[in-house]
Amino acid sequence: MALTHQRNNGDDDFDYLRQSDSIFLDNSIQYSDFNSPKERSWMLRYDLDMASYGVPGLSFMTRYGKGSDADYSNANSVYMRRDGNGDPLTDQKRWEREYRSEIRGAGRRSQDLSLRVRQATTRATAFESDLDEVRLIVEYPLSVL
């Protein structure tokens, strides 16, 4: 189990690495990064490895993140987000919850096979869209050469 707190004290979004979509923040999860100006966020995460219950290769994870106080009042023109009247967005809030189940192959031919299901739900005030998403991810390495 993990509990994290994150805070951006700057006037702009905490930026991504140059020319990439990568961000390295504790509260960056499936959809939300909780990286807006002045935003404070908390996340609670729980992981369960079923090997200790006699089911090797099966695991579950759930997490919930909540952000508040995002304020674009002093953001520069690149990061500025405004409401319908053209005023900077203030007091923005959001939350996201995610569930993940994963099974990894145990047999000789399937030992590198991984099946993962991820579900995310996020809700926010004006600065971000609501989302309900399910992803099915299949991983299997192929030797081409």
Q: Give the pLDDT mean for 67-88.
A: 90
Task: Give the confidence band of 46 by pLDDT, cuts at 50, 70, 90.
Answer: very high
Judged against a pLDDT cut of 90, whether residue 17 lies above it is answered with no
Q: Is 75 exposed, middle or buried (0-12, 13-18, 19+ CB in 10 A)?
A: buried
Residue 143 structure tokens: 């030797």
Return d(Cα 106, Cα 58) in angstroms, integer: 10
pTM: 0.83
Residue with tokens 């002093």: 74
Using a pLDDT cut of 70, give the percent of the chain over it: 91
Q: What is the pLDDT of residue 21?
A: 62
Task: Give the confidence band of 16 by pLDDT, cuts at 50, 70, 90.
Answer: low
Judged against a pLDDT cut of 70, whether residue 86 lies above it is answered with yes
Q: Give the pLDDT mean for 99-114.
A: 82
Amino acid of residue 131: L
Task: Give the confidence band of 94 by pLDDT, cuts at 50, 70, 90.
Answer: very high
- Domains located in the chain, CATH noted: 2-139 (2.40.160.10)
> What is the chain's mean pLDDT, rounded?
88
What are the C-alpha distances in Å from 39 to residues 44, 48, 131?
A: 17, 30, 20
Judged against a pLDDT cut of 70, whether residue 117 lies above it is answered with yes
Ordered strands of the 92-104 beta sheet = 2-7, 40-49, 58-70, 92-104, 114-124, 131-139
